[in-house]
Structure 1
Amino acid sequence: MTDFPAPELVIDDARLAQLCQSWRTLPTLALDTEFIRVSTFYPRAGLVQVGDGNGTYLLDPLSIQDWQPFIDILTAPDITKIMHSCSEDLVVFNYFYNCMPGPIFDTQKAAGFLGHGYSISYLNLVLHITGVELSKGETRSDWLKRPLSENQVKYAALDVAYLPRLHAELKAALTREGKLDYLRDECERMRQISLAAEDPANWPDLYLSMGAAWRLNAKQLGALKDLCIWREQVSRQRDKPRAWIARDADLITLAQQLPATHQALTRLPDLNRNIYQQDADALLAIIRDSEPVADGIANNLEGEPMSQAQRATLKRCQQAVRAVAAQTGIAEELLARKKQLITLMHLNRHATNKQAALVWPADLSGWQQPLLAAPLTDIITDTAIGKGSAGEANAT
C-alpha cells in the first residue's frame, strides 16, 4: 500500500479557515463524508474528509462552528470536487451546509463510461487502477462517537487519499475517448436531482412515479397527489424516514379507498400505526379536500402492464442499448435504464414518422440522445407503424 502522510483531524475554526485559504488556489479537491442515517430523514454528518493531493484532512462537524470558508470552497466554480458515488454525499452537503458542491467529478460515473461497469466500488476501482487492495474497514462504524478510533481515522483518510490519482487517470482516459463532456453532463444531472428533491415546487409530481398510480381514477389520483405532498412535508418536519410516516402502499390504499371517517379508516388493514394514532385527522382532511387531477393526466399514466407486443419492443430497445454499450464501452445503465426506455416508448406510442424526432424523457435527453436516437427511432416507429397497419386492416 502506498504510504500517505498521517491524516490531520481538524476541530477548530481557525485551522479550517487556514486550510481553506490554501485550498482556494487548487484546481481540484477530493471529498467524502461519513454520516449516520438510520432513523432520521436527514443524515447526521459525522466527518468530512478532504484530500488535496498532498495530505488528507478530517473535518469534525461536531466541533467546528464556522463553516463559511469551507462552503466557499464547495461552491467555488473553478475547483472541481472529486467524489466517488456521491449522491448521498450531496444530500449531506445540501442539508448540513445548505449548499450544493460543484462542479463535481464522480469517479464511479467516470468508470462507467470507460468499461469498468455501472456501479464499481471505490475499493475495486482503486484496485483496478492502482493495484492497491484496500480493506472494507469501518463501513458500519458509528461516526458520531468520539473520540474516533485509530481504525476509523485510517479508513476515513483512505476514502479520499486515492481520489486525486483516480481523477487524473480517469479524466485522461475520458479525454482520449471524447467522453469528458458526457461525464460533466451526468455529474451536473446528479446535482440537479439532489436539488430538485428538496424543492417543494417539485413535490406535486411525486405521485406520478408511484407504480400503482395508473390503477386510480382522477379523484383518487388527486388524493394521492396531496397525500404524497403531505408525507414529504411531515417527513422533514419530524425528521423521520418516509416509510415511518407512511409507506407507498399506505398512500395507495388511502387513495383507492378514500375513507371519509375514522371508522372507515380503521377498517383499512395493515396501515402504518401513525396513520391511525397520530395522523388520522390530517389525512381525512386531505382526502376530503383533494381535487381530481385532469382527465388528460389520469388517462396518460405509465405503469399499466405491457402487452406482448410492447414487451417485444422493449426487448428490442434493450438490445439496441446493449449494442451501443458494446460499441462505446459505456455501461448500459448509464445509456438507458429499463424504466427510461418504457417512458420513451410511452411518449412516442403514436410515432409513425421515421423522419420526425422522438419525444425524449428529460432524464434521457442529454448526452445519451445522439448515441441512441437512430436505433431507437427505427424500433419505436416500426412498432407504431405496425400498430397503425393492423388497425387499418381490422377496420376494413
Structure 2
Amino acid sequence: MQPITDTNELRALCERLAQADFVTVDTEFLRDNTYYPKLCLVQVADDEGPHAIDPLADGLDLAPLMDLLDNQKVLKVMHACRQDMEIFFQMMGKLPSPVFDTQVAAMVCGFGDSVGYETLVTKIAKAQLDKSARYTDWSKRPLSDTQLHYALGDVTYLRTIYRRLAGELKATGRERWVDEEMATLRDPNIYEIAPEDAWQRLKVRTNKPRFLGLLQELAAWRERQAKERDLPRNRVAKDETLFEIAAHPPKDETALDRIRGIPKGFSRSKAGKSLMSALEAGMNIPDGELPHIERAKPRPATPPMADLLKVLLKIKCQDAKVAARMVANAQDLENWAAEPDTTDIKAMHGWRYEIFGADAVKLMNGDLGLTARNGDIDVVELVAEEEPEDDEEGA
C-alpha cells in the first residue's frame, strides 16, 4: 500500500472517515535536529482498513486531515498520545478532540503502569508486531514496504484494543476515571512553553536571586532562538553554558566570546547581540522582582507509616485491577505519612479516594490493619474495645 500523496484522495478518505464512530491515529516523526517535531507520516484506520498519509509529499494539503481531527463527532483513538497531540497542536493551533488514549485506559483496566502498545497487541489482539523498522529514518523517500507494514500495524490492532478496553470501562463504570486522566492531556499549556517560564525546566543548584534573574532571561532568549531557528535548545546553547554566563556575566562582547561553549565571533552575530540584551534585562530586574525557588524543607527519615501505605496501595490496586501509579506515587505517600491531615494529594479525591484514599485514612487513624495470613497480607477492620462499665455493687 502506497501512502496518500494527493489532496483529493486525502479529502475523499477523510470524508469517509468522518462517518465513523472512531478512527485510530498514529504518527511517525523526527526531532533530533529541530525544535519542533518533523511530521513524516500519519496513519489512520477505520473498520474498512488502515491508510498512510505522507505529509512530506509536494503539494499535499493536510486541511482535510486537520478537519477530521477537530471533528467532534468522531473519536480519535491513540496510544500514549502526548507526542502526537503536541505535533497536531503545533499544526492546528488547537488539540484534536475528542481523544481516547489506550495507554491510560489500559492502566485503568489493570494492564500495568505505562503499558506499551506491543504488550496490548499481544495480550488483547493476540498478534505479534514486526518492530524491525522502529528506528528507521522516516523522512527519507520512498518508504519501504517494511516501514509501511510497521507503521500501519500501529493503527490496525488499535481498533481491537480500543473496543476491548472501552467495553471493560463501560462494564466496570470506570469511563469517568479515564476522562479525569484525559483532562490533563487536553490542557494546551503542557504543549507550549512560554519563554519566560523556560528557566524552570533547568536543574538549578543555587537559589541566588540575581543568578536566577539572569538565568530566567537567558533561558527565555534560548527558547525564542530555538523556536525562530527551529533548532534543538542545546544546539543554540547548552544548559551548562547558560549557567556559566549567569554565574559570571560578561561585561562586554569580548568577554562573551571567551566563555566556554560560545563559538568564536558569536558576540558579533545577531544572536550574540540579542543574548547581550537578555543579559542586560536580567541585570536590570529590580531586587523585589527577582525569581526564587521554593526549596523543600528537609524532612526526617520516611515515617514507617509510609511503608504501610505503600503496601495498602498495592493491595487495593491489585483488588481494583488498576495501575498503582495512577492512584498515588511513592512521594505522595511519603508526604501524606509526614502530614496526615493534608488533602493536597490526588488519592484524597474522586475515584482514587473510593478505592484507596478512604482506607488509607482509616489505616493512619488506627481503624484499619494489615495482617499476614497464609503467606499473603490481608486488610482488616479494627474494632475499638468498649470501655468496661462500672460495677455499682462493688463500688
Is the pair's TM-score, using the shorter chain for normalization, greater than 0.5? yes
**Residue 165 of structure 1, CA deviation:** 0.7
The question of whether the paired residues in 2 share the 8 Å contact of 1:358 and 1:377 is answered with: no
SS in 1 for 2:301: helix
User: What is the alpha-carbon root mean square deviation over aligned residues?
Assistant: 3.6
CA distance in 1, matches of 2:287, 2:318: 43
- Please identify the structure whose Cα radius of gyration is greater: 2
The question of whether the paired residues in 1 share the 8 Å contact of 2:41 and 2:53 is answered with: yes
- Say whether 1:84 aligns with 2:79: yes
**Aligned residue for 2:183?**
188
- Say whether 1:288 aligns with 2:288: no
The question of whether the paired residues in 1 share the 8 Å contact of 2:348 and 2:357 is answered with: no
CA distance in 2, matches of 1:106, 1:247: 34
- Say whether 1:28 aligns with 2:12: no
**Aligned residue for 1:165?**
160
**Residue 265 of structure 1, CA deviation:** 4.6
The question of whether the paired residues in 2 share the 8 Å contact of 1:113 and 1:330 is answered with: yes
The question of whether the paired residues in 1 share the 8 Å contact of 2:108 and 2:323 is answered with: yes
**Residue 379 of structure 1, CA deviation:** 9.6
Pick the aligned partner of 1:335 from 327, 334, 340: 327
Pick the aligned partner of 1:69 from 40, 64, 72: 64
- Say whether 1:137 aligns with 2:132: yes
- Say whether 1:45 aligns with 2:18: no
**Aligned residue for 1:260?**
251
Distance 1:378 1:161, change over 3 A: same
CA distance in 2, matches of 1:218, 1:224: 10
Q: Gaps (5+ residues) in structure 2?
A: 367-395
SS in 2 for 1:326: helix
1:76-115 equivalences under 5 Å are: 76-115=71-110
Distance 1:333 1:260, change over 3 A: farther
**Residue 150 of structure 1, CA deviation:** 1.3
Structure with a larger share of its residues in helix: 1
**Residue 69 of structure 1, CA deviation:** 2.0
Pick the aligned partner of 1:150 from 145, 152, 162: 145
**Aligned residue for 2:228?**
237
**What TM-score results when the alignment is normalised by the length of structure 2?**
0.77
**Residue 184 of structure 1, CA deviation:** 2.0
Which amino acid in 2 is paired with 1:106?
D
**Residue 254 of structure 1, CA deviation:** 3.2
Distance 1:140 1:249, change over 3 A: same
CA distance in 1, matches of 2:349, 2:276: 40
Pick the aligned partner of 1:246 from 228, 231, 237: 237
CA distance in 1, matches of 2:225, 2:19: 42
**What TM-score results when the alignment is normalised by the length of structure 1?**
0.77
Which amino acid in 2 is paired with 1:163?
L
**Aligned residue for 1:10?**
4
**Residue 339 of structure 1, CA deviation:** 6.2
CA distance in 2, matches of 1:50, 1:197: 22
Which amino acid in 1 is paired with 2:278?
I
- Say whether 1:225 aligns with 2:213: no
Which amino acid in 2 is paired with 1:13?
T
SS in 1 for 2:44: strand
**Aligned residue for 1:124?**
119
Which amino acid in 1 is paired with 2:192?
E
**Aligned residue for 1:359?**
344
Distance 1:240 1:8, change over 3 A: same
Distance 1:11 1:375, change over 3 A: same
CA distance in 2, matches of 1:295, 1:35: 41
Deviations 1:105-127 (A, max 9, x none): 11122111222222222122100
The question of whether the paired residues in 1 share the 8 Å contact of 2:5 and 2:54 is answered with: yes
The question of whether the paired residues in 2 share the 8 Å contact of 1:100 and 1:195 is answered with: no
**Aligned residue for 2:387?**
none
Distance 1:256 1:195, change over 3 A: same
Which amino acid in 2 is paired with 1:212?
V
CA distance in 2, matches of 1:261, 1:367: 58
CA distance in 2, matches of 1:364, 1:101: 31
The question of whether the paired residues in 1 share the 8 Å contact of 2:86 and 2:191 is answered with: no
Distance 1:220 1:379, change over 3 A: farther
Identity %: 27
